[in-house]
Amino acid sequence: MMSMENALTVAQDKMDQGLMSLNQANVYIIQLMGVRIIHKLDRVTRNALNVAVKAGELGHLKKDGLKPEAYFHKNSKWRAIEVRNELASDAINNIKNVFCGANITER
C-alpha cells in the first residue's frame, strides 16, 4: 500500500503525461493506497468513484454509525473493515473519556 502523498505524485505524473483523466486519477489513487476513508467528497469525485465501484474496479463501504465511509481496492476489503473498526473504536474511547474520564464535582 502506498501513502497518500506518493499516490498523488504518481497520479499527477500520469495526468501530466496525458495518460489519464482526473476521474481516472481519483480511482487510481485509491487503488494505489488500498483504502481511503471518506469524510467529505464533492459530487463529481463521488460519481466517478461510484462508477468505478459499479465497474468492479473499487469496493465501497457505507457509513455505519461511528464507522466512516470507505472506498477500497477490490482486494483490500478486509483492510477497509479493519481501518473502519479502529476508527470507530477510537471514537468510542474518545466519547467515553469525555463522559467518564472527566472529574465532575457536585455543587
DSSP 2: -
The CATH code of the domain that includes 95 is 1.10.10
Alpha helices in the chain (DSSP H): 4-16, 22-33, 43-54, 77-100
Is residue 27 one of the residues assigned to a domain?
yes
Look at residue 30 and tell me if it is in a domain.
yes
Count of structural domains within the chain:
1
* Residue 81 CA: distances (Å) to CA of 67, 73, 86: 9, 12, 9
In tens, the pLDDT along 6-48 reads 999 999 999 999 999 999 999 999 999 999 999 999 999 999 9
Domain that holds residue 24: 4-100
Is residue 100 predicted with pLDDT exceeding 60? yes
Task: Look at residue 81 and tell me if it is in a domain.
Answer: yes
Question: What predicted TM-score, i.e. pTM, was given to this entire model?
Answer: 0.85
Q: Determine the distance from the C-alpha atom of residue 15 to the mean position of all C-alpha atoms in its chain, rounded to a whole number.
A: 22
In a domain, 93, yes or no: yes
Per residue in 42-84, pLDDT (tens digit) is 999 999 999 999 999 999 999 999 999 999 999 999 999 999 9
Q: Give the span between the Cα atoms of 70 and 49, in whole angstroms.
A: 11
